[in-house]
Structure 1
């Protein structure tokens, strides 16, 4: 995956950074409402405003933050909360492994920064740039531009959600919005047959395992979905072969 030596016309750091910003701006239309929702849900779950805002900076993972808020509101033991959030974020390790070859020569300070900023949206846009864009020594600035833009938008959206949530009466139940948010994300994320299998299996296990204490159904459903998706990867081969032949 290592690129060929860059040409004299390779994009510079500023050009790469601005390219990443431009690539991320349209995606903020979907990210900002999710950030607002988390700010509202965090307060509804009993988290103080400062903790909701700090979580968006420390964790910086929408799905895991919403899961944390839901489990916190249900008084789930800390061990279960930490384990569940870790399982939800396992996909980030796969993202890192996927782009590692393109970032291998960077110093550790850059690797740590980009690992922190490597979210779902940042990975998708950066992978397209690394694979199809011109080679160059400043390509990591593209990922930085994407990640920084998303990070800034996520912080502002969370703060907005906290401000909105503080004005919502305490008697209003917002639990239903968690399920609606994840359903919307799921519909947008499923592109392959194996992903559909994983989603269906995880959903079925989540329903069956509802009686388990401490919301352990989340962990069980996640593990079952991952296993089902891996087992069903063969269903994607015809489509992948067809895409490769184009």
Structure 2
């Protein structure tokens, strides 16, 4: 079968470069945008991988079989929800309550989705659903840092950048998670991997906090999460997210009003 070649014209300086691509495959420019997203989030995969490994170990130590743990990792793909669900599953909690707990812990993704909707508005509902499934905390932060102030929402560059960041994070989570599932029985409790993962995550997040509203939001989230540790179903995390969003929005509005005076 003879495959046609598609020629993509790219302007580079004063000249033109012609690049031949197989039909149906992304062009050179799309691949570059995808690579940009992967590179932007690559440093964060250290923290993501540690959390994935910790979650894999936790699933096995909680009593799940390796097969069950792998299915949970691939289908749920949400560390906080998985860690919340594990003790509930092991204690025989009703399924509806397990789902409710997972939804409450991940309610922040409703906020993420609302913020990112303008960038994916023109996509079909199934494609938006897939984009939401592969979203993550760090993917959202890095994407909004790059494109949050863009006047045009929904460009090809934004979507390919998101795809590169999301794909890198997915592999950066799943591979260590599966490794943790198979190695979980050999990992001693004294290693304190969850604490190491927290430190790695802080090392990634702290440099991203560069504005006053972000500092206020992070501070409020930390305080509320600390005092909410004893709440059931990890509701302290939900309260921290909602309080941080409210504090950040109010701080940004206050700053905007001050500048307009």
TMscore range, shorter length: 0.7 to 0.9
Alpha-carbon spacing, 1:23–1:30, altered in 2? closer, same or farther (3 Å): same
Instruction: Return the alpha-carbon distance in structure 1 between the equivalents of residues 246 and 146 of structure 2.
Output: 30
Instruction: Return the alpha-carbon distance in structure 1 between the equivalents of residues 123 and 68 of structure 2.
Output: 33
After superposition, the C-alpha distances for 1:179-202 in whole angstroms (9 at most, x for unaligned) are 775687579578533443343334
Instruction: Return the alpha-carbon distance in structure 1 between the equivalents of residues 249 and 130 of structure 2.
Output: 35
Instruction: Return the alpha-carbon distance in structure 2 between the equivalents of residues 102 and 152 of structure 1.
Output: 23
Could you tell me which residue of structure 2 aligns to residue 212 of structure 1? Answer: none
Structure 2 residue 119 is the aligned partner of structure 1 residue 96: no
Could you tell me which residue of structure 2 aligns to residue 64 of structure 1? Answer: 81
Give the superposition deviation at 1:13: 1.6
Structure 2 residue 41 is the aligned partner of structure 1 residue 24: yes
| CA radius of gyration, larger in | 2
Structure 2 residue 162 is the aligned partner of structure 1 residue 143: yes
Could you tell me which residue of structure 2 aligns to residue 203 of structure 1? Answer: 226
Which piece of structure 1 moves more, 195-204 or 57-66? 195-204
Instruction: Return the alpha-carbon distance in structure 1 between the equivalents of residues 258 and 30 of structure 2.
Output: 33
Given that residues 104 and 235 in structure 2 are in contact (C-alpha distance below 8 angstroms), is that contact kept between their aligned partners in structure 1?
no
Structure 2 residue 138 is the aligned partner of structure 1 residue 115: no
Given that residues 42 and 168 in structure 2 are in contact (C-alpha distance below 8 angstroms), is that contact kept between their aligned partners in structure 1?
yes
How many residues align? The count is 227
Instruction: Return the alpha-carbon distance in structure 2 between the equivalents of residues 18 and 231 of structure 1.
Output: 34
Could you tell me which residue of structure 1 aligns to residue 185 of structure 2? Answer: 166
Alpha-carbon spacing, 1:14–1:79, altered in 2? closer, same or farther (3 Å): same
Give the superposition deviation at 1:70: 3.5
Instruction: Return the alpha-carbon distance in structure 2 between the equivalents of residues 72 and 180 of structure 1.
Output: 26
Unpaired runs of 5+ residues, structure 1, are 1-7, 210-216
Structure 2 residue 241 is the aligned partner of structure 1 residue 218: no
Could you tell me which residue of structure 2 aligns to residue 155 of structure 1? Answer: 174
Give the superposition deviation at 1:40: 0.5
Q: What secondary structure is seen at the aligned counterpart in 1 of 2:156?
A: coil
Alpha-carbon spacing, 1:164–1:96, altered in 2? closer, same or farther (3 Å): same
TM-score by length of 1: 0.74
Instruction: Return the alpha-carbon distance in structure 1 between the equivalents of residues 241 and 157 of structure 2.
Output: 35
1:86 maps to which of 96, 103, 110: 103
- Considering fraction of residues, name the structure with more strand: 2
Given that residues 117 and 148 in structure 1 are in contact (C-alpha distance below 8 angstroms), is that contact kept between their aligned partners in structure 2?
yes
Instruction: Return the alpha-carbon distance in structure 1 between the equivalents of residues 175 and 201 of structure 2.
Output: 20
After superposition, the C-alpha distances for 1:44-102 in whole angstroms (9 at most, x for unaligned) are 11111112111221111122122222433444433332111101111111111111112
